[in-house]
Structure 1
Amino acid sequence: MPVPRFLVFDLDGTLINSSLDLCNSVNAMLEHLGKPPLPNAVIASYIGDGAAMLVRRALGDPGDLDASTHDESVVREALEFFLSYYRVHKLDNTVVYDGVLTSLEQIRSRHPQILMAVLTNKPVGPSLDICRQLGLEPFFFQNYGGDSFPTKKPDPQGLQTLIAEANARLEQPLQAHEIVMIGDTDVDVLTGRSCGVRTLGCGFGLSPHALAAAQPDAFVEHASEWPAVLGL
């Protein structure tokens, strides 16, 4: 992989292992609505497309916002409860993946000129708070969430905005091959591909099978591999 100048990271399943807190929040929402809980493995398979889609899938919707099987008032109530519960419990069990901080520190110390940012479909408020409390914030010049734009990944808007902001900080504009989108799902690969940039898949995350099927340009099984695979 060509040596990059800009790295864009997904959050859940890439930088942090947040699966248990998300699953607990979904099941708390289901209990609030008088519905039976779902297995954690099932809920984990619903993560990646933002809070609203996570809630809809947990309620049994087909994943199509135009084909909802639930009254919208029920969906709104469910989403509001989920977000309220998650804000309180988002760090009960969530941790930074092993190797992430070491790799970020290595990249920063060896190549201080490389820019890094976060682009997640999680709402930006929890994303900022989690990165702040888990020591990730200093590495990133920007952190955008699923409610930062009218669209979410894999729509290119968020990544395009980050590229424009990175270019404003650099003397020489970025070339596509100098940008890498790093994530654990097919959504991240499709996001990178939609902007014509390189992609790095993290097989330790939430959706390894969908990730493999999306065929990222490079692949790792542990965050400690990032510097070597990126040529850093």
Structure 2
Amino acid sequence: MAHEPKPIPADKIRLIVFDLDGTLIDSRKDLTNSINAMLTEFDRQPLPEEIISEYIGDGAGMLVRRALGDPDDEKFVESALTSFLNHYRIHKLDYTYVYDGVFAALDVLKTGRQLAVLTNKPVRPAEAICEALGLSPYFFRIYGGNSFATKKPDPEGLTTLIREARVQPEETVMVGDSDVDILTARRARTWAIGCRYGLSSHTVESIPSDYLADFPKDWISALDTAKMEK
């Protein structure tokens, strides 16, 4: 059931932190292909894209574990994770693209603010994807799932970005397509924008956001002070 979003005080927001997969980029096909390459290597049946999409959001380790059916053999999971990452490292940009409207929104939102990425994807492929697709110049930091001892929804990454940007939690908004992102925002006491178009959008409304975006351009409606003043 949809909930009424609270108005975000756009004029007070100084830091915007974005999730990557399903928020800025559609990486579904490359992730699916790499998971299925791993499954084939270990004599497992490939999985449909729709199923694998539901496993995305908690980092590469959990993605692999879920695709394997949550086995108890940790060495097997580690081997499978290595296989997946080896394939994904080569094929991460075969089909991945930036969602329509993202660049236009970032161009508006960057004025007077700092922007950053906080993803549960390993940091090296995250940085490489942002660089290749032209996203890197917008962000003062890009942190991944192995940048800290913990991953989202633990707030460590988000609170670190808040400290590095020299802002307050109430001056910060987290933007993401999953309940993991919204819960991270809640734990860090920041504002939250949930994206209903992404890879994990089936989970995003399970925790109330302050604003729900159907497209990246909707971020402007939530956060552009000039638009609000008209």
Secondary structure of the residue that 2:116 maps to in structure 1? strand
Per the alignment, residue 149 of structure 2 pairs with 150
C-alpha displacement of 1:229: 1.2
SS in 1 for 2:86: helix
Output the amino acid matched with 2:175.
I
Residue of 61, 75, 78 corresponding to 1:76: 78
Secondary structure of the 1:222 match is coil
Q: Which runs of 5+ in 1 are unaligned?
A: 62-68, 168-173
Q: Secondary structure at the match of 2:217?
A: helix
User: In structure 1, how many angstroms separate the alpha carbons of the residues matched to 2:169 and 2:148?
Assistant: 22
8 Å Cα contact 2:109-2:224 kept in structure 1: no
Deviations 1:140-194 (A, max 9, x none): 0000000001100000110111011000xxxxxx333221000000000000000
Aligned counterparts of 2:211 and 2:108: Cα–Cα separation in 1: 19
**Deviations along 1:101-157, whole A, 9 cap, x unmatched?**
11111223xx2x200000000000000000000000000000000000110000011
Q: Give the TM-score, by structure 2 length.
A: 0.92
Number of positions where the alignment pairs a residue of Structure 1 with one of Structure 2: 216
Deviates more, 1:210-219 or 1:186-195: 210-219
Gaps of 5+ in 2: 1-7, 226-230
Give the Å deviation of 1:231: 3.3
C-alpha separation in 2, matches of 1:77 and 1:19: 22
Residue in structure 1 matched with residue 202 of structure 2 by the alignment: 209
Instruction: State the match for 1:223 in structure 2.
Output: 216
Q: How does 1:14-33 map to 2 (within 5 A)?
A: 14-33=23-42
Cα deviation for residue 15 of structure 1 reads: 0.3
Deviations 1:71-123 (A, max 9, x none): 12211110000000000000000000000011111223xx2x20000000000
- Aligned CA-pair RMSD: 0.9
SS at match of 2:205: helix
The equivalent position to 1:2 in structure 2, one of 4, 9, 27, is 9
TM-score in terms of structure 1 length = 0.91
Partner SS, residue 205 of structure 1:
coil
Is the deviation greater in 220-229 or in 130-139? 220-229
Percent identical: 53
Aligned twin of 1:170: none
CA distance in 2, matches of 1:151, 1:82: 21
Instruction: Choose from 49, 56, 62 the match for 2:65.
Output: 56
Residue equivalent to 1:42: 51
Cα distance between partner residues in 1 of 2:32 and 2:165 = 34
Give 1:171's aligned residue.
none
SS in 1 for 2:17: strand
Following TM superposition, by how much is the alpha carbon of 1:224 offset from its aligned partner in structure 2, in angstroms?
Answer: 1.0
Q: Would you say the 8 A contact 2:58–2:151 is kept in 1?
A: yes
Distance 1:193 1:78 in 2: 33
> Counterparts of 1:117 and 1:100 in 2: how far apart (Å)?
14
Match of residue 193 from structure 1: 186
